[in-house]
A and B are shown apart, each in its own frame.
Chain A
Amino acid sequence: MPTLPLIAHRRPDAVVAWRGKTPVTARQFLGDVKHLAGTLPPGRHVLNLCGDRYRFTVNLAACVVSGRVSLLPSTYTPEMVRQMRRIAPDVFCVADKDIDGVDLPGFRYPETMPPALSDPDIPEIDDAQVVAQVFTSGSTGVPLPHPKRWGNLVRNVRAEAERLGIGASHAILGTVPPQHMYGLESTVLMPLQSGAALHAAHPFYPADICAALAGLPRPRLLVTTPYHLRTILADQHTLPATDLILSATAPLSQPLAREAESRFGAPLYEIYGCTETGQLASRRPAAGAEWHALPGICLRSEGQSVWADGGHIETPTRLSDVIELIGDGKASSTFLLHGRHADLINIAGKRTSLAYLNHQLNAIPGVRDGVFLPPREDDPDCIGRLAALVVAPGLTAAALTQALRERIDPVFLPRPLLFVDALPRNATGKLPSHITQGLLDDLQSLGTSQAQEPA
């Protein structure tokens, strides 16, 4: 059976991570992984809630070498945790601080690890081993699992590193959590598989992001989102010299991309992908709108659909986004992306679907009917919020918001939440989006206040 190594770092004293100014060597990392793998409780499924990126990485690797599966749900609401327990009754969580509101058996990441004395071998992992289950929001309220095999993940991030020119000399700082696909791929697995070093921190404020970046040796890469970039550029007068910027989760406007490039003095690349396939393509928005498929990947049009195949993609996969291939043939490695699938919602890197949100809203006792409306895309660099129209005569806005908070991630809570007497469903029970959007506009222009209580 083919195998691939846990890390690409060749020497025991190669730097795997930076904790502030302190390097963590491959020797120490492999020792930590071995120690943790030997102390984890027996369950096979793990929710990795470590906030420190180095500890997250050690725990992920400890699960990989001990044959455990990391569960990666899109959110940690009580409803989602219940779903995880149903799917995997033996699930436990590993955390490096006190976690409130996650009703699972917990394991505390050790405060101290034994010093690594010998030079351990680098573990080889089966290509076909399922190391993670990534969950997307199903339309019926049941999360859909997408198994991720070691070989596919490794080939994906090696292609990413090749495209971006990332190697053993790079240091990587992320402003995104490692628990979602983009952060997992670009701030954890890509450094492990290219021999680069990851920064353990997950800085929040712009000043912290710049300080952490300035503390890393060069060449250094910032892995971020349009939303973080906008706040950094607005808040910071001087930016640390950077060698590469990577952005994903939402399209970046060309002016923001150009400003980021000139002020950081670094090229900025965007990554495009989806849960089913992983990363598919990259582009440099300051240079052009076309996306270039990662090495080995090809896109093919068949009728109205576009399929992705090759490279790290396990089986040909139909893409749900609106894609135009460039070139004369039916297959191409360059394309334009005209929009994400209408049902998918992505706010600040958190993903869900309108169908899932509508299911959760209508499952609340007292809600007779209700619908979420997607954010308007007036300004691609600002965060848009969802709106909701609800028929719930017996509920207050506060009670409804609290019930939603139990079920959906807070970034999807509706603003505004408007109560109506009935929804304008058509004869087939459908709600055409231009009708609901028109109703929302009418209610807002009437001065109906946010979260207005029912009359």
Chain B
Amino acid sequence: MSALLEVTSISVSFDGFKAINNLSFEIGGQELRAIIGPNGAGKTTFMDIVTGKTRPDEGRVRFGEPQLDLLRLSESQIARAGVGRKFQRPTVFEAQSVRDNLTMALSNDRLPFAVLGYKANKEDGARVAALADEIGLSEELDRTAGELSHGQKQWLEIGMLLAQDPQLLLVDEPAAGMTLGEREHTTDLLRRAAETRAVVVVEHDMEFVRRLDCKVTVLHEGSVLAEGSLDHVTANSDVIDVYLGR
């Protein structure tokens, strides 16, 4: 099976600081992957590159079947090609209802004139209802997103990503600021999502990563330090050095 996302020896530097240094990374079609690493390891920059926010100085980023060169596409084109991204801070559209947030995210035509002529229909209504059920917000559909709790906003954002129906989902610190119960729900959501698509989770919290129970990639100073199961990488002496200091 060929990889869904193939990142080959990318490098990027900001004002001389090498944020990503000759990084290569692959992920398959239905896989859950956690990326861990200390601050400044390049986790967020890696996501920025895949989603088109930052252009690498060198390297290749290939995605999908047939393969697309993501470096040639704009952010919105990459998103339409099937890459969804969840930011660290929950970013939902607070002034709008949960239903409107989800409806906007549904994988329909996104060009202005098509959207201008959009009419709400039963199918989309049912999809929104199913998604709301999945993320546990059925009761909140008509509430303004700004009134939701922090955890609910995170789920809404994950729901919006699922609505986009991406082949690859990039999730930045989903568990930040969540209660224990909320974390369990989030873990379930992500693992279910990974049954039909690739999910990459960037996370600081080792406990959360352990619960995800998936292959782990450790980044350090912009390149891959170790890869494997959590137990495998935490036994790696380089990883111990990086995390605990020499």
A and B are partners in one complex rather than unrelated chains: no
